[in-house]
Amino acid sequence: MNIKELIEAIENSDMEQEAKAEIAEILQDYEYFIEVKANVQRLLGITT
């Protein structure tokens, strides 16, 4: 399950709206971090 699927599952759950918003924000920050990390590694020529 990827980050976008997790966000959708949370949005469709019965959790309180505030909790859903917080979790979705954390997951979006994490997704952004993963993208930045991949870009930095690509720029530095690092392969994983």
* pLDDT at residue number 34: 95
pLDDT category at 35 given cuts 50, 70, 90 is: very high
Looking at the structure of the chain, the number of domains it has is 1
**Angle (CA) 45 1 38, round 5°:** 15
| Residue 37 pLDDT exceeds 90 | yes
- Print the domain residue range for 21: 3-44
Largest Cα–Cα distance of the chain, in whole Å? 44
**Beta-carbon-side half-sphere exposure of residue 2 (alpha carbons within 13 Å):** 3
The alpha carbon torsion through 18, 23, 25, 26 (nearest 10 deg) reads 140
pLDDT of residue 48: 62
pLDDT band of 42, cuts 50, 70, 90: very high
